[in-house]
Amino acid sequence: MTRPFDPNRLQFYVTIPAPCPYLDGQMERKIFTQLDPLSGPQLNDYLTHSGFRRSQNVIYRPACETCRACQSMRVVTTDFTPGKSFRRTLRRNMDLKREIVEPYATREQFALLQAYLGHRHANGGMSGMAFHNYEIMVEECASRTLVVEYRNAEHILIACALIDELSDGLSMVYSFYDPELTPRSLGNFMILDHIDLCRQNDLDYLYLGYWVRNSPKMSYKSRFQPVQILHRGVWTDFAAIVDPAPTKLQAGL
């Protein structure tokens, strides 16, 4: 059961300044609100289209005082064509089986997440996560949420994504994978496969969260052309604003 929400009655809060995790020397602030269990799916949809990002039952947007580097980004799935490097990534992972499951946390998923965090984000805020915290992350979501698992021929879980269903697309909330399988390019593969999943379900966009100008951690997102960023409140072609002539790397060639 859901209930409609009134955007004029939403209450927002602002965090205190904290060091930016993407740009050295910058301080970040966020504006956020809670997702209500009954109106959460509609609110998540409404605010995601306005540049917000969900984390558990909080949905937030950067509100930094001196920086506007974070830009909401989405892939235009209807116009996407993979270049040579992306086609190689797809071929390397042809053996994987995608399975979409209900949002229930499993020990198998959590073990994979721990391996991923230990290798890729050992000093990050999620590094000390216990299984109970992971259960909250997956199960206590006031949104239309699913888990996408990827298994190899031996039925071993090697990649996983937590996604939200929106009215016009899918939002990749969080993804993780076996860090020892670098040649597979599993991070890129999951984005490519979710683009395909959107197309199979007549969804126009895949929401990738924030692209951060001058942040190496986020540069990979701009490779999935054509992409749009939310520029001054309007979803606009990335290439027209940021880079009128994308490089071969950005085009995935």
Q: What is the CATH number of the domain that holds 138?
A: 3.40.630.30
Do 60 and 103 lie in a common domain?
no
Instruction: Work out the average pLDDT over 14-29.
Output: 91
Do 98 and 187 lie in a common domain?
yes
Do 183 and 89 lie in a common domain?
yes
**pLDDT confidence band for 251 (50 / 70 / 90):** very low
In a domain, 1, yes or no: no
Do 12 and 90 lie in a common domain?
no
In a domain, 251, yes or no: no
Residue pLDDT, tens place only, 105-159:
999 999 999 999 987 765 656 767 899 999 999 998 888 999 999 999 999 999 9
pLDDT of residue 123: 62
Last residue of a domain, one of 70, 97, 118: 70
Does 246 score more than 60 pLDDT?
no
In a domain, 124, yes or no: yes
Helix (H, G, I), strand (E, B) or coil at 24: coil
Instruction: Work out the average pLDDT over 40-62.
Output: 91
In a domain, 179, yes or no: yes
Do 89 and 171 lie in a common domain?
yes
**pLDDT confidence band for 239 (50 / 70 / 90):** confident
Domain that residue 42 falls in: 7-70
Do 56 and 109 lie in a common domain?
no
In a domain, 15, yes or no: yes
pLDDT of residue 35: 87
In a domain, 142, yes or no: yes
In a domain, 56, yes or no: yes
Considering its fold, how many domains does the chain have in total? 2
pLDDT of residue 102: 95
Do 34 and 125 lie in a common domain?
no
Do 19 and 97 lie in a common domain?
no
